[in-house]
Chains A and B, each alone.
Chain A
Amino acid sequence: MSLPDFRQVDASRRRVAGALTIAMMVIYFGFILLVAYAKPFLSQLIVPGMSLGILLGALVIVAAWVLIWIYVRWANTHYDTAIDAARGRA
C-alpha cells in the first residue's frame, strides 16, 4: 500500500471519530452542567408526569444510539471500502 493513500484514510477516520466523540461529550456534559447548575429548569414539567430532566436524560441515551449508528454506517461504507482499496493496492 502506498503511504499517501493510507494517510488519507487515517485522516478521515480521525476526523469522523473525533467529531463524533466531541458531539457525545458536548451532549453529555451539557446535560451534567444542567443537572449541576439549572435544577429548576430541569424540574419543570412538560406534561403531567414528564419533567424536562427525564426527557433530556432519555434523549442523551437515544443520542448515544444515534451517534453509534452514524459511525457504523460511515465505517461500513466509506471506511471499509477505503481500507480494502488501500489493501488491494498493497
Chain B
Amino acid sequence: MNTSLGQPNVIAIAGFFTFVALSLVITYVAARRTRNAEQFYAAGRRITGFQNGMALAGDYMSAASFLGIAGLVSLSGFDGLIYSIGFLVGWPIVMFLIAEPLRNLGKYTFSDVVAFRLRQTPVRIAAAIGSLAVVAFYLIAQMVGAGNLVRLMFGLDYEVAVVIVGVVMMAYVSFGGMIATTWVQIVKAVLLLFGAFALALLALSRFGFNPLALFRAAADQYGGAVLGPGRLVSNPLDAMSLGLGLMLGTAGLPHILMRFYTVPDARTARVSVAYATAFIGFFYLLTFILGFGAMVIVGQPAIRAIDAGGNMAAPMLAEAVGGQAFLGFISAVAFATILAVVAGLTLAGAAALSHDLWVQVFRHGKASEKEQFQVARVSTVFLGILAIVLGIAFKGQNVAYMVGLAFAIAASANFPALILSIFWRAFTTRAAQVSMLVGTASSLLLIYFSPAIQIDILHNTSAPFPLRNPGLISIPLSFAVAIIVALAWPEPAAAAGFAEVERRVHVGVDEGVADSHLSR
C-alpha cells in the first residue's frame, strides 16, 4: 500500500497549528485568572466532576496508548490487549482507595497526604525524588513519541519537533497553570475520543459494522493465533510483573493524583473518576478495533515498513479509510495528545519542585504566595528544558515500553507510602521515607539490570535480572520495607495524628478547601 507518511501533510500541519493557537488562547484567558498558587496548581478548585473526568481521561490517554497499543495489536493481535486492559484496571483502585481520601487530606500534591501526620521535611524530599523519577520517564516516552510523529507526519527533523513541543508546552503551563492545562486536556480528550471513534467506525464500515467480521478477517489472513495469547507474553512472570505495575501505577502517578485537587470536594472527585473510567474504558475498547483494523486493512508488512514498532498503524489506517484529509486530522489529534500530556506532567513536576521541595523543605512552609508562584513558574521552564534534552537523548526508544516503566516506578515509589499513610495507624516518617526511596531506587536498578537495557541497548549477552518490568519485585519490596521499618521504629506522634486522618478522610476541611497548615 502506498502511503504519504513522511511527506508534509497540509491538513495535519493546519490542524496542529489550530490546536496550538487554541491552546494559546486558552492560556491567555487562563493566565488572567491565574494569580496565586491555588489557581496555578489547582485551578482555584472550581473544576466540575464531568470536566475533571474529561481532563483525567485527557491526562491518561497518552499517545503511547493511542499509537502504541494500536500498533502493538496490529502487529501481534491479542497480546496488545493486555496493555489496554492493564491501563484501565488501575482506575477502580484509584476510585476505591485513593480519590476521596486524597482530596480530603491534601492541598496540591500527593505528598501533602503522605506528610499529613508525619515529619514534613524527610517525607517531602523522598516524595519529590519519587515523583520526579516518574515524571522524567513519562516525559521521555512522550517526547520521543512527539519527535517521531512530527518527523513522519510533518517532514520536520526529530530534534526540531522535540524543541517545538517543549517550548509550546512551557509557554502554556508557566502562564496558564492548571486552568490552562485542564482546558487543554478537555479539548484534547474530546478530539481524541471523537477521532478514535470516527476512525473505528470507518474501519468497521468495511465489515458491515460487525467487529466479529473484522476479527474473522484478521484470523483468515494471519492465522487464528492472532486472536489468542502469543509470543509477547512468553515469560509468565513478565506478564504478572507488567500487570502489577500497570494496575497499581495509576494510583501513584503524580500528574493524575494532582487533578483531584482541582475539584471543590471529595464527592466531585468521586464523580470525576466515574466519568474518567467510562471514557478511558471506551477508548481502550476502540484501540482493539483500530489495531485489528490496521492489521487487516493496512496490512502488517506496510505497517512494519514505516515503523518497526508499529507506532504508525493508527495514522496509516486513517489514511487508508479516510484519505489524506483524515490522516491529517488524526495526526493533529495525536500531536495535541502528546502536547497535553507533556503539559500535565510538567505541572506535576513543577509542583514537586516548588510546593514540596522549595516551599516545604527550604522555606519550612513560610514562603509568600507570590514567591511560591514564581518558583513554580521557574520550575516549569526548568522541566521544559529538561524534557527537551531527555527527548533528544533518548531518541529511538520504544514509547509504550517506557510508559510501562514509568508506571512501575510510580507503583513502587509512590503507591505503597500513599496507601499506608491513609489506612495504617502505625505508619511512620522513617517508613515513608525508606519505602519511597527503596521503591524508586530498586525499580530504577532493576530496569538498569533488565534485558531491555543490558541486551537491547548495551548489547550484552545476558542480563542479571530476567524480567523486563521491575514491578513484581520492587512493589512488594517497597511495601515490605515500609512495614518492617514502621514496626521496628514506632513513632508515637504519627500514630497519635492518625485520629485526625481518620476524621479528615471522611469530612475533609469543613470549608471544602484544605487549610494552609498541613503539619500537625
Contact = CB atoms under 8 A, between A and B. Distances in A.
Contacts of A80: 267
Interface residues of A, number: 52
Given A24-B89, A67-B92, A61 B233 contact: no
A37 to B, nearest CB: 6
Given A39-B229, A51-B227, A68-B273, A58 B212 contact: no
Contacts of A50: 212, 215, 227
B233 A20 contact: no
For the residues of B in contact with A, the DSSP-based class is helix
A68 B506 contact: no
B33 to A, nearest CB: 31
Given A37-B236, A39-B228, A60 B213 contact: no
Interface stretch (B19-27, B78-86, B326-334, B461-469): B78-86
A14 B425 CA distance: 14
B505 interface: yes
A50 B364 CA distance: 60
A62 B91 CA distance: 13
Contacts of B212: 47-50
B240 interface: yes
A25 to B, nearest CB: 7
A9 B82 CA distance: 37
Contact of A28 (B224, B247, B274): B247
Contacts of A29: 240, 243
Contacts of B86: 28
Contacts of A16: 96
B506 A13 contact: yes
Contacts of A32: 82, 239-240, 243
Interface in A4-40: 6-7, 9-10, 13-14, 16-18, 20-21, 24-25, 27-29, 31-33, 35-37, 39-40
B497 interface: no
Given A21-B92, A61-B281, A83 B507 contact: yes
Which size class do B's interface residues fall under? 35 or more
Nearest to B82: A35
B85 to A, nearest CB: 5
A72 B270 contact: yes
B267 A49 contact: no
Contacts of B228: 39-40, 42-44, 51, 53
Nearest to A19: B96
A69 B96 CA distance: 11
A9 to B, nearest CB: 6
B506 A9 contact: yes
B362 interface: no
A69 B91 CA distance: 12
Contacts of B507: 1, 83, 86-87
B270 A75 contact: yes
A25 B95 CA distance: 13
Contact of A64 (B91, B230, B240): B91
B88 interface: yes
Interface string B273-291: 1100110010011001000
Contacts of A58: 285, 288
B85 A28 contact: yes
Interface in A56-90: 57-58, 60-61, 64-65, 67-69, 71-72, 75, 80, 83, 86-87
B487 interface: no
A1 to B, nearest CB: 8
B503 interface: yes
A49 B281 contact: no
6 contacts: A17-B97, A24-B93, A28-B89, A43-B224, A49-B216, A61-B285
Given A36-B237, A72-B274, 17 more contacts: A6-B503, A7-B502, A10-B505, A16-B96, A20-B92, A32-B239, A36-B233, A37-B236, A48-B216, A48-B219, A49-B219, A53-B227, A57-B78, A58-B288, A60-B85, A68-B95, A71-B95
Interface of A: 1, 6-7, 9-10, 13-14, 16-18, 20-21, 24-25, 27-29, 31-33, 35-37, 39-40, 42-45, 47-51, 53-54, 57-58, 60-61, 64-65, 67-69, 71-72, 75, 80, 83, 86-87
Closest 3 CB pairs of A and B: A43-B228, A36-B236, A49-B216
